Amino acid sequence: MRLVLLGAPGSGKGTQAARLKEHLQVPHISTGDLLRAEVAAGSPLGLQAKEVMARGDLVSDEILLGMLKDRFSRDDTRNGFILDGYPRNLAQAAALDDLLASLGQKFDAAVQLTVDNEQIVERLAGRAKAEGRADDNPESVRKRLQVYDQQTAPVVEFYRQHGQLTVVDGVGPLDAVFTRIIEAIAPEKAVG
């Protein structure tokens, strides 16, 4: 199963991706996690990305594509993946199609987790307290939501127009959201 997870910051992509990974036995590729690992390692790429991420802007398409190509060159992605945090703009959506085409692959579904803005802000405030992520301060959250509306929402529309979009309600208990996703994309793998 090859999945692309879409949704605003705080929509639960990361949480659900971790569960999907176990359930579907495919790797979870989170561009946010890959970037945070570079920042933590203090690599040249990490040094470049650090400030951009902290203010809630998008890291350059070039850096992301390089990182993604590198990740997709590993064997474990051959039989599937859950891509979380990419694509975030239309250029990245085109780059993803090209990358997958070069590997002889196509994704099976783009799943959008929908959560209303008010809840998003509440969830991110909660996460800021729990995890202390550098980009969960109010200013950066505002910026990330704005970037989502301006740059990532068009990706959702693009996939909708191409009949590749599956919309899943992201509100409710984690288990309920997870069940909705599985029922939408792989009903044969639903449990219970």
Least separation in angstroms between residue 192's CB and ligand ADP is: 29
Active site residue 88: yes
180 included as an active-site residue: no
Q: Is 69 annotated in the active site?
A: no
Q: What count of Cα atoms within 13 Å lies in the side-chain half-sphere of residue 28?
A: 18
In the complex, least distance from residue 76 CB atom to ligand ADP, rounded to whole angstroms: 20
Check if 71 is active-site: no
| Closest CB to ligand ADP among residues 57, 97 | 57
Choose the catalytic residue: 19, 123, 133, 143: 133
Q: Please state the closest distance from residue 22 (CB atom) to ligand ADP, in A.
A: 20
- Residue closer to ligand ADP, measured from CB, 59 or 156: 59
Using CB under 6 A, list all residues that contact ligand ADP: 9-10, 31-32, 35, 52-53, 56-59, 64, 85-86, 88, 92, 135, 144
Active site residue 127: yes
- CB-nearer residue toward ligand ADP: 134 or 186: 134
Q: CB of residue 85 vs ligand ADP: minimum separation in angstroms?
A: 3
Strand pairing partners for 110?
Answer: 4, 165
Catalytic residues: 13, 88, 127, 133, 144
